[in-house]
Amino acid sequence: MTGRADLEAICDLLVDLANDADGLTLEEGVDLWKASLDVLAQTKTTISMLETRIKDELESPKQIDNVVYRRKPKGVDRFDHPGIARAVLDQVRIDYATGEVRDLTPAVEALRLFTTIYLSASSQAKKSALRSLLGAHAAEDLVEWERTGSTIDVIPLEGS
């Protein structure tokens, strides 16, 4: 089985190659560059496979030496845009029969919130605007978190 010492030997070889790069001919440089790209591609594949294995084992946080490892879900917020539009429009006091705006202040506030919600690149700004518009509970009804995968969270313990 390949171990840490084998990987350290590969790293040492790559350091030696980097140190010798200035003395290489063009042909040698191109050949070793292409081989190094192959090594990089295989390294990325190996890291991905190791991460998958680690995540499979991390049903709950595990401590190894003075470090805690845990699987941390990652995802994105999916916004209910028609629901948000209805909530913003509900803030404008309009007589829908005549189209007359009865009070301009809520209309300006609704436009500001609409701009914050729809033109913000940050989902946090959208969440904040929805909370100020609707209150925390109602705002959560318009946002659904969708899991897209997981990462490995590495937490060094104090004194390590």
Question: Residue 1: pLDDT band by 50, 70, 90 thresholds?
Answer: confident
Please give the average per-residue pLDDT across 103-107, as a whole number. Answer: 71
- As given in the structure block, the two tokens for residue 129 are 């605007």
The predicted pLDDT at position 115 comes to: 72
The answer on pLDDT for 138 being more than 80 is: no
User: Which stretches of the chain are DSSP H helices?
Assistant: 4-20, 26-57, 81-91, 104-119, 123-134, 136-140
Q: Is 70 helix (H, G, I), strand (E, B) or coil?
A: strand
Please give the average per-residue pLDDT across 144-159, as a whole number. Answer: 89
- As given in the structure block, the two tokens for residue 64 are 């190894």
Least-confidence region, from 20-24, 34-38, 52-56, 145-149: 145-149
The answer on pLDDT for 122 being more than 90 is: no
The answer on pLDDT for 42 being more than 80 is: yes
The predicted pLDDT at position 145 comes to: 83
The answer on pLDDT for 12 being more than 70 is: yes
Length of the chain as a residue count: 160
The answer on pLDDT for 70 being more than 90 is: yes
Residue 154 contacts residue 55 (beta carbons within 8 Å):
no
